[in-house]
A and B are shown apart, each in its own frame.
Chain A
Amino acid sequence: MSKVWMRKSLPQLIIVVLAIWMIAEYFIAVKWIENVGSILRTFQTSVGAFALGLGVVATVYQHGGHVWRRTPGRWFYSGVLLTTMTVMAVSGLIGWLDQPIFAYLWNNVYIPSQQTVYSLLMFYITYASWRALRISSIPSTVFMICAIIVMMMNAPLLQYYIPISTPLANWLFNIPNVGSSRGMALATIGGTIAVYLRTLLGRELGMIGITAGEE
């Protein structure tokens, strides 16, 4: 088989067949089509799990390199990453979720770290709001007024003294906000369908790592 067939035509054929199959499974109520669809989804999960091995290799290669070369400002963090990855993997493999070391690290290191990063969003949103809420033009003034009304709704004291803020903020949420976001979503649907159709017709080959100029 030629190189072009293996590199381009075969992956393209697989994509087209699988895509049509998954669309058919959604619309057609035939048992064996549903069964094959279910097997394909399980297959996707399995391939993903195997790909994690690739991720581990890439991570060890990249961070191991930093530790080996003592890259300034990086090797220490890379060392911590490799150590924690090894401890979690080994303890998890030995006793699964009940293993004391794994459970301790999961509950006392992993979960709090995730929550810490999540809570940082509050500062980031405030920072972004501070940048966005500057009166420099008519649209930004409208934006500012709307933001103040919505903030008023969320402040109990202002809600008590200015009761109109709640229905006004609800109106902003339910009418202009929903209307404009749905308008944007509708415009995006066209783009989504176009990208998938381009893929099905073999014009968009980014999914198999081929882009413009390479074809």
Chain B
Amino acid sequence: MIDRSIEQMLLVAGRYFQLIMLIVLILVVYVGFEMAARKGRVKVRLLPQVSAIKEMVERCAEMNRPITFVPGGSSVAGTTGASIGSAHLASLSIIAEVAYQCGLTGAKVLVLAASPVLIPLYNNVLQAGFIRSGHPEGFEPNAVRFSTPELYSYAAWVAGEVRRENAGANMIVGSHNMDAMIHGIAGLEVGAMQLAGPSFAYFFVAVADYVFIGPDLYVASAYLTEDPILLGSIRGMDLTTFVILGMAFIGLILATARSDLLLKLFGW
């Protein structure tokens, strides 16, 4: 009786199963970390999207055209305090890699920010990339540009910037809304090589040369850091997928047997 009252007082009803699943999935990813830490470096196949970054930057350096990076993050409501989602967070590693390659080749990069909150963050990441390449002088303080957080105004501005700057490569990597289509076509019109995703991947396969589909961006982000523990998180991601697939399979059997046990469990 006492236990029951404590449970009612402490936990929000209907979220017990969610809490259990969260703990299970975090443990599974953590096991991936630990396995990597014990076994040493995890071998990961090089994604074509990652090797394309170098190719795109070198192409831009040869053509003397800039690279435009469109991380997105604008919202329909045009909030000024844009939150940073997981895809956006993972895209920072890509920005750092682009800056590193630009430092080596002398190419110019422009980051078209959708939120003023993120301007110092992009500046830091770009500067770090140039410093890592051994060419800190390559970093331009006005490489991060901002115009508006409003979704379609941002889309129109990005399309204009890509055209005016005559981008040699257009990277639309991060979190995007419907504006993704406008960015994609703008790059296509100026003949830029395009790397895009993971949101609106189904649209980008028609207009981009390389697309991050599903969890590819998270894998690329971990790959680029070359940190064995982070590479271990890729194993954790795979284990998580297997856990969820297992649950889906159990759900399939239960649904076929006309049992609503899993549905009740979700609502517990």
Is A148 on the interface with B (CB-CB < 8 A)?
no
Chain A residue nearest to B120 in the complex (CB): A209
Q: How far is the CB of B25 from chain A (nearest CB, A)?
A: 5
Q: How many A-B residue pairs have CB under 8 A?
A: 221
- Residues in B whose Cβ lies below 8 Å from that of A213: 96, 100, 128-129, 132
Taking CB atoms, residues of chain B closer than 8 Å to A30 are: 9-10
- A114, A117, A214: residue with the most chain B Cβ atoms closer than 10 Å: A117
Q: Which of B119-174 contact A (CB under 8 A)?
A: 119-121, 123-125, 128-129, 131-132, 142, 144-147, 149-150, 152-153, 155-156, 160, 164
Interface mask (B25-39 → A, CB under 8 Å = 1, otherwise 0) = 110011011000000
Are the C-beta atoms of A131 and B206 separated by less than 8 Å? yes
Docked pose: A120 CA to B121 CA in angstroms? 32
Interface membership of chain A positions 193-205, coded 1 if the CB is closer than 8 angstroms to chain B and 0 otherwise: 1111111010110
Cβ of B18 within 8 Å of any chain A Cβ, yes or no, is yes
- Known contacts A51-B117, A191-B217, A204-B89; decide if A124 and B182 are in contact (CB<8 Å): yes
Docked-complex contact B116 and A27, CB < 8 angstroms: no
What B residues does A55 contact at CB under 8 A?
80, 115-116, 119, 146, 149
Flag if A184 contacts B214 (CB, 8 Å).
yes
B207 at interface by CB-CB < 8 Å: yes
Contact at B89–A207, with CB atoms within 8 Å?
yes
Task: Annotate A98-138 by CB proximity to B: 1 below 8 A, 0 otherwise.
Answer: 00000000000000011001101100110111011000000
Q: Which of B81-101 contact A (CB under 8 A)?
A: 81-84, 86, 89-90, 92-93, 95-96, 100
With A54-B119, A77-B160, A194-B29 as contacts: A214 and B142 at CB distance below 8 Å: no
CA–CA, A51 and B80, complex, Å = 7
Q: Are B131 and A27 in contact (CB under 8 A)?
A: no
Question: Assuming the A-B contacts A47-B81, A49-B81, are A74 and B184 also in contact, with contact meaning beta carbons closer than 8 angstroms in the complex?
Answer: no
Chain A residues within an 8 Å CB radius of B12: 26-29
A residues 36-80 near B (Cβ < 8 Å) are 44-45, 47-49, 51-56, 58-59, 61-62, 65, 73-74, 77
Closest chain A residue to B157 by CB distance? A81
Residues of A within 8 A of B144 (CB): 58
| Given known contacts A192-B86, A209-B128, A198 and B96 CB-to-CB distance under 8 angstroms | no
For residue A1, CB closer than 8 A to chain B, the reply is no
CA distance A121 to B19 in the complex (A): 40
Say which residue of B119, B178, B205, B239 sits within 8 Å of A58 (CB atoms): B119
> Which B residues, 201 to 260, have Cβ-Cβ distances below 8 Å to chain A?
201, 203, 205-207, 213-215, 217-219, 221-222, 224-227, 229-230, 233-234, 236-241, 244-245, 248
Shortest distance from the beta carbon of B236 to any chain A beta carbon, whole Å: 6
Collect the chain A residues with CB atoms within 8 Å of residue B11's CB. Answer: 27-29
Say which residue of B18, B29, B84, B142 sits within 8 Å of A190 (CB atoms): B29
Q: Does A13 contact B (CB under 8 A)?
A: no
Q: Is the CB of A124 within 8 A of B237?
A: no
Chain B residues in 8 Å Cβ range of A212: 93, 96, 132, 224-227
Between A and B, 11 residue pairs with Cβ closer than 8 Å are A29-B9, A55-B115, A184-B201, A188-B198, A192-B218, A193-B237, A194-B233, A203-B229, A203-B233, A204-B89, A207-B121
Interface, chain B (partner A; CB < 8 A): 9-13, 15, 18-19, 22, 25-26, 29-30, 32-33, 79-84, 86, 89-90, 92-93, 95-96, 100, 115-117, 119-121, 123-125, 128-129, 131-132, 142, 144-147, 149-150, 152-153, 155-156, 160, 164, 178, 181-182, 184-185, 198, 201, 203, 205-207, 213-215, 217-219, 221-222, 224-227, 229-230, 233-234, 236-241, 244-245, 248
Closest 3 CB pairs of A and B: A48-B81, A55-B116, A209-B124
